[in-house]
Structure 1
Amino acid sequence: MYFETRAQAGQLIAARLIEKYRYENCVVLALSDGGVLVGEQIASQLHCVLTMLVTENIDVPGESTSFGAVSEGGNFTYNGMFSQGEIDEYTSEFHGYLDEQKRLAFNRINRLIGEGGMIDEDLLRNRTIILVADGFADGSIISVAIDYLKPIRVQRLVIAAAVATVAAVDVLHVAADELHILDVKENFLGINHYFEDNEIPSHEETVAKINQIVLNWR
């Protein structure tokens, strides 16, 4: 399945969710800048707030594989698709590099959104959380989101995206109460491949938009 825009994908996902979740106690929590473009459509149709979990990904040196990511709360979460043996091996081999990248990533997040963070946890508490991405290549960003949400009591966890790999869906099924993925790919060619329009606002523009949305919602 291919999509003209991320907004179109969001409209298709919203159509799946609207009967059950419209006007319910929900929050759409986007997991990337592209996820915000998808999530805007879902939040609009469900009449609920849209916010964003700001993260910084850290890759394994010389590979297109994610170690994991740092969230705006300052926690680093390993890619949930790694075994404990792989985590131990990477940690041992790249210990100094990893510590430095964690520090730099958290500094970048603080410069972007300030030390207070973007998310007011009261917006999430005791609500159905709909985690939204434009696509999931692996389970790394979900591992970060689940780690961030652990201390927050939520009613239900729904995960939605336009496209995902088979391996990512295996991780998502374990994490979520409910899953809405429009297309699952065995031979995944990268998230952008499945959208005709790949114009995405900058991180700074997305953060400014989310702050305004939350302010208006209140």
Structure 2
Amino acid sequence: MFKDRTEAGQRLGTKLLRFKAQNPCVLALPRGGVPVGLEVAIMLDAPLDLIIVRKLGAPWQPELAIGAIVDGDPPQVVLNKDIIAQLGVSPEEIETVKKRQLAEIARRRATYLADRPRVQIEGRTAIIVDDGIATGATIRAAILATRAAHPRKIVLAVPVAPTDTVAMLSREADEVVCLETHDDFAALSLYYMDFRQLEDDEMRGLLARAPHAPPLPVTKH
């Protein structure tokens, strides 16, 4: 078991030190990924940013995901075309759901980061960090969206995850660094002694401690 997310981040950061010379940036999934990502960013002296993923729910059944939208400039959308076709969801309905979730993404970014500029991803080694993985759907959307920003390399880094999920995500990321994998994966909270919910003030405090670095100049493709 990990004592808490801070300890997990410190242990993860040790495994990621070999990327320090690759001008990395750390992209943490809120909320649980932020304290883990902060420790990684400090150890690598890398800028920390958020990557916010919101589920796109079916208009009349919000708990059923028809895709996901990921924070970015521009935001990236991942759609499950099979489910959309099966349910007969129209483009207009998808657009309405997208706008609602984009507003929530903007609210969260403003709440946690105020006016802090986005970290430049292009040309860097982008390290995506969370406090663990269950099904991998959210992380997969984050990887696909990060790929669109033209990083040099994508590294997925988590303390704990199911063995089969890590195998699946290894085909999406360039490299996966996971401290513990389990064939019989239980609830994520069972792998931490302290797995409490983080409040907004705590999030702001953690992000205020994150290293800052000048962005790379944008290169034309």
Give the TM-score normalised by structure 2. 0.77
Letter in 1 for 2:55: N
Conservation of the 8 A alpha-carbon contact between 2:124 and 2:152: yes
2: distance between equivalents of 1:158 and 1:4? 24
2: distance between equivalents of 1:167 and 1:70? 24
Alignment CA distance shift 1:99-1:117 (3 Å): farther
Superposed CA deviations along residues 58-79 of structure 1, whole A, max 9, x for unmatched, are: 457486x754421123432147
Letter in 2 for 1:55: V
* 3-state secondary structure, aligned to 2:102: helix
Mark the runs of 5 or more structure 1 residues left unpaired by the alignment.
80-86
Aligned residue in 1 for 2:78: 77
1: distance between equivalents of 2:79 and 2:204? 24
CA RMSD of aligned residues (A): 3.0
- Partner residue of 1:161 out of 152, 158, 161: 158
2: distance between equivalents of 1:138 and 1:59? 17
Between the aligned residues of both structures, percent identity stands at 26
2: distance between equivalents of 1:130 and 1:172? 14
- Residue 103 (structure 1) aligned with residue 95 (structure 2): no
Aligned residue in 2 for 1:82: none
1: distance between equivalents of 2:150 and 2:121? 8
Aligned residue in 1 for 2:83: 89
Aligned residue in 2 for 1:47: 45
* 3-state secondary structure, aligned to 1:120: coil
Q: Which has the higher helix share?
A: 1
1: distance between equivalents of 2:177 and 2:99? 34
**Greater CA deviation, 39-48 or 163-172?**
163-172
2: distance between equivalents of 1:69 and 1:117? 25
2: distance between equivalents of 1:21 and 1:12? 15
Q: CA deviation at 1:98?
A: 5.5
Q: CA deviation at 1:91?
A: 4.3
Letter in 1 for 2:147: K
1: distance between equivalents of 2:117 and 2:132? 22
Aligned residue in 2 for 1:84: none
Superposed CA deviations along residues 41-66 of structure 1, whole A, max 9, x for unmatched, are: 11111111111112223457486x75
2: distance between equivalents of 1:117 and 1:192? 32
Mark the runs of 5 or more structure 2 residues left unpaired by the alignment.
215-221
Conservation of the 8 A alpha-carbon contact between 2:57 and 2:97: no
* 3-state secondary structure, aligned to 1:110: helix
Size of the aligned set, in residue pairs, is: 205
- Partner residue of 1:32 out of 30, 34, 56: 30
Alignment CA distance shift 1:208-1:100 (3 Å): farther
